[in-house]
Amino acid sequence: MIIGRWYRALAGAAVMVLVLGAPAAQAQSTTGNAVKRVDATTVGEQTVFTVELQGPPSQKPADFTTQNPPKLAIDFIDTGFAAGRAQYDLGGKLLKSANVVQIGDRTRVVLDLTRVATYRTEVRGNLFVVMLDNVAQTARAAVPTFAPSSAQAPLAPSNRSTVRNIDFRRGQDGAGRIVVDLSSRDSGINIAQQGQNVVVDFLNTTLPDSLRRRYDVTDFGTPVQGMRASENSGNTRLTIEPRGNWEYSSYQTDTQFVVEVRPVKEDPAKLISGAGFRGDRLSLNFQNIDIRSLLQVFADFTNLNIITSESVQGNLTLRLKDVPWDQALQIVLDAKGLASRRNGNVLLVAPKAELATKEKLELESQQQINDLEPIRSQVFQLNYQRAEDVRRMLLGLAA
């Protein structure tokens, strides 16, 4: 049964409460935790969505978003759901509905949105809170990509992150690739386009004197002409100066933050795009997530069957913003030294060396089979045939 009602608070704020049908006493599961109920509250310019659990989550739930259709998915690891699966119609201006489903030892909550929205998440005891911005991005100031919109309080110098290196490389198809190496993977990062430039702010991050300068990269032949790195009030700012027709994307893997600025070639007569990443765009924000769990997110998003080798191990911190899923998957594979092979809707993921060894053994095995195959002889009697006709017939069989 769906229970969803709007209440009006004394302050005039609209409040929407959704209670999952099972009481707390019934939220039993073989897993370590369980979802009890969900509340959705809209106050002013923010929608607050709360998931109440039986106990505090053992690890921060992973979340990812999709653009078309706009959705926000949250995975609660080692968490059950008494009802197994439920859908709740909310009818909000931003938050339309919520779907809760238990998949194995985890429970996924999917929020259906009316449009793409910026959001933040917090763990408050046994509550997981999602704060969605009701104001459209076009009506807001520069929206940060990897950090909350509110300014962070300055930290003591000993607790600040440090920019260890700034590198520039030429990528595929003439793209400019800026790689910033940080001392901490938890640095707050804001990125936005300001006029003709792309500005990246690393919050509470220091910049060594040797890196405080302008970088001239015109010789690389990319849209990026130069970069400026500076520090102000305990924050580091990197200003990227592209020219021409371009687009950019950014992502973070562990302590490396990467910005790619690609040239855009407009060809109205071209009906089919060339080589590149064409998958639906998604955003990912994971802190120290197990690589196998991360691959499962891609499997759920793409409906592919992903098989991982036993040797695929380790954790990864990953923050992506509006990146095609196939590019995001390639970033994950490159970060962990993995490779993939696809056969229909089945994707095999394993370390590069392991896949290369496997393919080599398969080729050697096939060659051995060919070498061991017995040679057979057969005699045909041809009467009244022209030699040229026989030659063409043999060539046709050989082909």
* pLDDT digits 0-9 by tens, 171-226: 888 899 999 999 987 778 888 888 889 999 998 899 999 999 999 999 999 999 99
Alpha-helix residue ranges (DSSP H) falling in 210-308: 291-302
Please report the pLDDT score of residue 199 as a whole number. 92
Q: Is 275 exposed, middle or buried (0-12, 13-18, 19+ CB in 10 A)?
A: exposed
Please report the pLDDT score of residue 328 as a whole number. 86
Domains 4-138 and 289-399 are alike in CATH topology: no
CB 72 within 8 A of CB 130: yes
Number of helices and strands in the chain (H, E): 4, 27
pLDDT band at 363 (very low <50, low <70, confident <90, very high): confident
Residue 5 has pLDDT above 70, yes or no: no
The mean pLDDT of 328-347, rounded to a whole number, is 88
Residue 275 has pLDDT above 50, yes or no: no
CATH architecture of 157-263: Sandwich (2.60)
More confident: 181 or 93: 181
Structural domain spans, the chain:
4-138, 157-263, 289-399
Residue 106 has pLDDT above 70, yes or no: yes
CA separation for the pair 263, 176 (Å, rounded): 9
Q: Indicate the residue type of 72.
A: L
The mean pLDDT of 121-147, rounded to a whole number, is 69
Placement of tokens 């929020």 in the chain: 111
Percent of the chain beyond pLDDT 70? Answer: 82
Please report the pLDDT score of residue 139 as a whole number. 39
How many CB atoms sit inside 10 A of residue 370's CB?
8
Residue 155 has pLDDT above 80, yes or no: no
Strand-strand pairing, 246-253 and 256-263: antiparallel
Residue 165 has pLDDT above 70, yes or no: yes
Please report the pLDDT score of residue 379 as a whole number. 80
CATH class of 289-399: alpha beta
How many CB atoms sit inside 10 A of residue 201's CB?
19
Please report the pLDDT score of residue 66 as a whole number. 77
Q: Which of 77-81, 89-93, 342-346 has the lowest mean pLDDT?
A: 89-93
DSSP 133-195: E-S-GGGSSPPPSBS-SSPPPPPPGGGSEEEEEEEEEE-GGG-EEEEEEES-TT-EEEEEEET
The mean pLDDT of 82-95, rounded to a whole number, is 85
Q: Which of 27-36, 141-150, 247-256, 312-321 has the lowest mean pLDDT?
A: 141-150
Fold of the CATH domain 4-138: Immunoglobulin-like (2.60.40)
Residue 138 has pLDDT above 80, yes or no: no
Q: pLDDT averaged over the chain?
A: 79
Residue 22 has pLDDT above 50, yes or no: no
The mean pLDDT of 111-134, rounded to a whole number, is 88
More confident: 375 or 58: 58
CB 236 within 8 A of CB 190: no
Please report the pLDDT score of residue 188 as a whole number. 81
Residue 30 has pLDDT above 80, yes or no: no
Rounded to the nearest 5°, which phi and psi values hold at 158?
A: -70, -20
Residue 284 has pLDDT above 50, yes or no: yes
pLDDT band at 21 (very low <50, low <70, confident <90, very high): very low
More confident: 92 or 29: 92
More confident: 32 or 309: 309
The mean pLDDT of 331-341, rounded to a whole number, is 88
CA separation for the pair 64, 95 (Å, rounded): 16
More confident: 129 or 137: 129
Model confidence, pTM: 0.52
Please report the pLDDT score of residue 230 as a whole number. 94
Strand partners, 281: 324
Please report the pLDDT score of residue 111 as a whole number. 92
Please report the pLDDT score of residue 31 as a whole number. 57
Long-range Cβ contact pairs of 89-92 (< 8 A, separation 24 or more): 89/2, 89/4, 90/4, 90/16, 90/18, 90/40, 91/4, 91/16, 92/16, 92/40, 92/42, 92/47
pLDDT band at 75 (very low <50, low <70, confident <90, very high): confident
Please report the pLDDT score of residue 375 as a whole number. 73
